[in-house]
Amino acid sequence: MSTSTYGSAQPGGSAAGGETVIDRLVESNRKYAAGFDDPGMGAQPVLQVAVVACMDARIDLHAALGLELGDCHTIRNAGGVVTDDTIRSLTISQRALKTRSVILIHHTGCGLQTLTEDFRHELEMEVGQRPAWAVEAFQDVDQDVRQSMQRVRTSPFLPHTDDIRGFVFDVTTGLLREIDPQP
């Protein structure tokens, strides 16, 4: 068992010796479950919407969009980019679980704007193997949102592509700014 601790990941917490951040999460879950009542809801999102967003820790999607438990599917990755795996999730979301709308959310100050595709080369130099995946780094966040909208809209697997909208979330104001699909 690991003896490492996550000192900086215990804001305001008692610095219990040897307790890892995951130990804390599991403890929080016990409290959560103690007060949890089965909401009795089905798996189909109530609002029939899928949210594709960056994994950035500063975006509380449910709070920022007024979403409640059961309302939506949430698909998050580094950048909120539309990869093959994002399309996989959206396809299942639409075809098996009846969602119809897709909202794409990138944000200001994204870590992917600090990387380039050289990252793959650097990885290869370090570990002797080039990753099969693209870094999906970008410079212009507006253009990356446009590309993401285009990838969703043109996917042959998605039956519902008439309600796709893209936004940039400002991490300093909490406000969404809509991106016009046409530059």
56 carries a ligand binding annotation? yes
Exposure letters 7-28 (e unless 16+ CB within 10 A, then b): eeeeeeeeeeeeebeeeeeeee
160 carries a ligand binding annotation? no
Closer CB to Zn ion, residue 93 or residue 138? 138
Please choose, out of 59-67, 105-113, 145-153, 165-173, the segment that lies near Zn ion by the rule CB under 5 A: 105-113
Closer CB to Zn ion, residue 45 or residue 80? 80
72 carries a ligand binding annotation? no
In terms of DSSP H, where are the helices of 16-139? 21-34, 61-65, 84-97, 118-127
Closer CB to Zn ion, residue 92 or residue 115? 115
> Residue 144, interface with Zn ion (CB under 5 A)?
no
Contact pick of 56, 137, 151, 167 for Zn ion (by CB under 5 A): 56
Closer CB to Zn ion, residue 50 or residue 54? 54
- Residue 81's closest CA among 159, 157, 134, 158? 134
Using an 8 Å Cβ cutoff, are 112 and 133 in contact?
Answer: no
Q: Read off φ and ψ for residue 94, nearest 5 degrees.
A: -80, -45
Q: Give me the residues that bind Zn ion (CB under 5 A), please.
A: 54, 56, 110
Q: Which residues are annotated binding-site positions?
A: 54, 56, 107, 110
